Amino acid sequence: MGLISVGAGSSHAQESAGSLGVAAAPRLHFSPEQMALALAVANDPDLAAFYGGNGLQPVFLGAEGAARREALRAAVRQMPDHGIPADRYPLPSATAPAEGLGAELAHARQAAQLLRDLTGGVLTPARVDPEIKRPPGPSQVPVLLAAFLAAPDPTAVLEGPAPDFPEYRALQAALQGGADLRVPADLPRIPEGLWRPGSTGAGVAALRANLASIGFAAPVGEPDRYDSALAEAVARYQRAAGLPDDGIAGPRTIARLNGADALGPDARQRAITVALERLRWMASEDLSARHVWVNIPEFSTTLRQGGAEVFRTRSVMGKDTPEMRTPEFSDVMINVVVNPSWNVPRSITVRDYLPKLQANRHAVSHLDVLDGSGRVLARDGIDFAQYSAATFPFRLRQKPSDDNALGIVKFIFPNRWNIYLHDTPSKHLFGNRVRADSNGCIRIGDPVDLAHALLSEQTDDPAAVFARALDSGRETWLTLRPGVPVHLVYFTAWPGPDGQIRLFDDIYARDARIWAALEAEGFGTGGDVIAEAR
pLDDT in the model for residue 494: 94
pLDDT in the model for residue 4: 36
How large a percentage of the chain has pLDDT more than 70?
90
Q: How confident is the model at residue 30 (pLDDT cuts 50, 70, 90)?
A: confident
Backbone angles phi and psi of 530, in degrees to 5: -55, 130
Is-catalytic flag, 487? no
pLDDT in the model for residue 5: 35
Backbone angles phi and psi of 14, in degrees to 5: -60, -45
Q: How confident is the model at residue 188 (pLDDT cuts 50, 70, 90)?
A: confident
- What is the edge-to-edge ordering of all strands in the sheet holding 395-398? 342-343, 395-398, 368-370
Side-chain half-sphere CA neighbours of 250 within 13 A: 8
How large a percentage of the chain has pLDDT more than 90?
69
pLDDT in the model for residue 22: 52
Task: Report whether pLDDT(143) > 80.
Answer: yes
Domain range summary for the chain, segments of one domain joined by + = 11-53, 287-341+402-500, 344-398
pLDDT in the model for residue 26: 45
Task: Report whether pLDDT(480) > 90.
Answer: yes
Given the residues 82, 107, 441, 487, select the one marked as catalytic.
441
Task: Report whether pLDDT(9) > 60.
Answer: no
pLDDT in the model for residue 15: 56
Q: How confident is the model over 98-135, as pLDDT tens digits?
A: 789 999 999 999 999 999 999 999 999 999 999 999 99
Task: Report whether pLDDT(159) > 60.
Answer: yes
pLDDT in the model for residue 184: 78
b/e 350-364 (16+ beta carbons within 10 angstroms → b): beebbeebbeebeeb
Given the residues 107, 422, 452, 487, select the one marked as catalytic.
422
Handedness of CA 274, 276, 280, 284 (dihedral sign): positive
Is-catalytic flag, 452? no
Q: Is the pTM of this model over 0.75?
A: yes
Q: How confident is the model at residue 31 (pLDDT cuts 50, 70, 90)?
A: confident
Mean pLDDT of the chain: 88
Q: How confident is the model over 262-321, as pLDDT tens digits?
A: 445 577 889 999 999 999 999 999 999 999 999 999 999 999 999 899 999 999 999 999
Residue 368 bridge partners (DSSP): 397
Amino acid at 37: L
CATH code of domain 287-341+402-500: 2.40.440.10
